[in-house]
Structure 1
Amino acid sequence: MPYAYSWYLDIIHEEWAALVEGDYERVMPLPVRKKYGITYCYQPFFAQQLGVFSKNEINPEIVNKFIAAIPKDIKVINYNLNHFNTLNPKEYHTNNNDNYLLDLISDYDKIYNGYSTNTKRNLKKSNKNNLVKMKGVKPEDIIELFRDNKGKEIGKWTEEHYLILKRLMYVCIYKGVGVSHGIYSDSNELCAAAFFLKTPNRLVFLFSGNSILGKELGGMPFLIDEIIKENAPGFRILDFEGSNDPNLARFYKGFGAVKSVYQNIHINKLNTILKTLLRLTGR
């Protein structure tokens, strides 16, 4: 997973620390921040999963030890472990999150046979619309496509988030671990686009934008299908990076992706009075 690279963390959350075992045999990044005098650890944007990373197998006992070693001055923790980490829910308050993965080891025809009837029908329609996929779309064009459409419905995104995302995409391209693709209509209008993180064994669907025209023409399913064609057969997994949203989950499963669960852990060490005050003040 690319999220634990030090340069990646430097971009998405400068104030990060880490628990390290031995000579970096195991590492657990901790995105920390102080607000209203309270130090807390939370999941930053653009890093779906963190937790304990190791070249060797990890068991629940190891994960428990890392969680227990988190400094006591970190009072509030809302943090996603990676799917290789598991915790006993009886010991900590955890929630399960859904991710969807598609193994690209098979050839394209075999993967296509695993598509849902609805996905095949959508692709049949999109293939009639003279769509063209182009590589190397500018990150700001993908962001603009998102902001002008889905972004208007999402209130939690700030200008800072968009600036971080733009910088992250450009650095990933520079380092050779990021690639962008766009879908153009027959009038040469960018109607769907996506940015992928690329590691030796994973292709992560990090960010995308889709216009009204893109939805009408089937731009996004066309894009995903083209990506699968380009990368299968191969040793990578297509990581859709979500989702708990039933509609998105249905879309990803339509390509044959399989659910992969990762845990969120929530710890609140604040006393009852302080919890109440923070809740009353909306903090």
Structure 2
Amino acid sequence: MIRRLKYNEIDFKKYTECLENSEQKNWYANKNVLDQLSGNWELLIYGDYEAVMPIPLKKKMGLNFILMPLFCQQLGIFSKEDNREINDQFLKVLQKKSNVFLYSFNQKNNFGEKLEKKKNYIIPISDYVILRRTKYFKGRKSTAKCAQHLFYKEIDLSAEIISFIENNYKGIPKRSDYEKFIKYLEFLNVNGFLKLYGAYLDEKLINLAVIISEENQLSLLALINDESYKNENGPSFLIDKILQNYIHEKTFNFMGSNIRGIEIFFKSFGAELQEYSYLESKILKRIS
């Protein structure tokens, strides 16, 4: 039996316990993260929190729609063991709702029916030397090697870094969305989850990797580049240095892309494809 709970009806102790013990455990479903990114969400539960499915809501055209928040890649169903029959029950409840704008499940959720997929790329914990020798594309090895004149540095969030982001971040066209991004960075920073790595030419910052750092995983939130220095190969240099320092102890999550050129960039470091299912209303997308 699937029940839907409003935010103030959720037992967050049981919710957190379910997440912590789940096979599908991921960053985005944590209460504080969802509170920050969505601010308005409810919950579908199976039994006594044996399985849970957070549902983010956003008001459009005066109505509440189920819509993935900006900077949130995957949610879905969380349970001790992924169960296709239970997942199908959750899916049926979600499909009955005509107000599903976009909802992304997680990569471990399996269903009886075929759903559309999005792509994510991950490098598992590895020996860096073996990874570079056997999994890097030949061209990526060469590009990273040619950028060794750059200087790699871990840096703190500051007014200077925010100015660099504002001047060079191309992925957020709306000012309101950019402001949400900065607030998210501040949230990550205050809670100890933010890592920033820079590539410097002499003393000038030319590339910035924005990373979410969890206990066992690093996730690439953004790779921000000063296009004036495109020929310096800073992005290859930065990712290679991060992998060199951390891939022996943490998985590296590229956070996915369906853009061919970006996909190839991720794959060139030996990243493995991990697809996840999603539901999207084509009608609502056209009229939004």
Could you tell me the TM-score, scaled by structure 2's length? 0.82
CA apart distance, 1:79: 0.8
In structure 2, list runs of 5 or more residues that go unmatched: 1-25
CA 1:144 to 1:263, structure 2 compared with 1: closer, same or farther past 3 Å? Answer: farther
User: For each residue in 1:138-183, what CA deviation from the matched residue of structure 2 results, as whole angstroms up to 9, or x when unmatched?
Assistant: 26655544543452xx5x6322212221121222222222211111
Tell me the equivalent position of 1:62: 86
Aligned-residue identity in percent:
29
Displacement after TM superposition at 1:80 (Å): 0.8
How many residue pairs end up in the alignment? 262
Does the aligned pair in 2 maintain the 1:126–1:222 contact within 8 Å?
yes
Give the direction of change, closer, same or farther, for the CA distance of 1:150–1:136 in structure 2 (3 Å limit).
Answer: closer
Distance change >3 Å, CA 45–CA 21, structure 1 → 2: same
Structure 1 residue 170 and structure 2 residue 186: aligned? yes
1:211 aligns with 2:226: yes
How much does 1:226 deviate? 0.8
Q: CA deviation at 1:3?
A: 0.7
Q: Deviations over 1:182-218 (max 9, x none)?
A: 11111x1111001111222221111121112442111
CA distance in 1, matches of 2:44, 2:193: 25
Residue 75 of structure 1 pairs with residue 95 of structure 2: no
Secondary structure of the residue that 1:69 maps to in structure 2? helix
Amino acid at match of 2:271: A
Q: 1:139, 1:180 within 8 Å by CA — same for their partners in 2?
A: no
TM-score when normalising by structure 1? 0.83
Look up the match of 1:122. Answer: 143
Matches within 5 A, 1:139-178: 144-149=163-168, 151=170, 157-178=173-194
Shift of the 80–143 alpha-carbon distance from structure 1 to 2, 3 Å rule, reads: farther
Q: Report the Cα distance in structure 1 between the residues aligned to 2:185 and 2:204, rounded to whole angstroms.
A: 22
Please state how far the C-alpha of 1:99 moved relative to its aligned partner: 0.7
Q: Does 1:263 align with 2:277?
A: yes
Q: Which has the higher contact order (CA 8 A, sep 6+)?
A: 1
**Cα separation, 2, equivalents of 1:87 and 1:171:** 34
1:76 Cα shift? Answer: 2.9
- Seen in structure 2, the aligned counterparts of structure 1 residues 115 and 215 have a Cα distance that, compared at 3 Å, is same
Partner Cα distance (1:238, 1:202) in 2: 6
Matched with 1:220 is: 235
The separation in 2 between residues aligned to 1:121 and 1:223, in whole angstroms, is 14
In structure 1, the gaps of 5 or more residues are 269-274
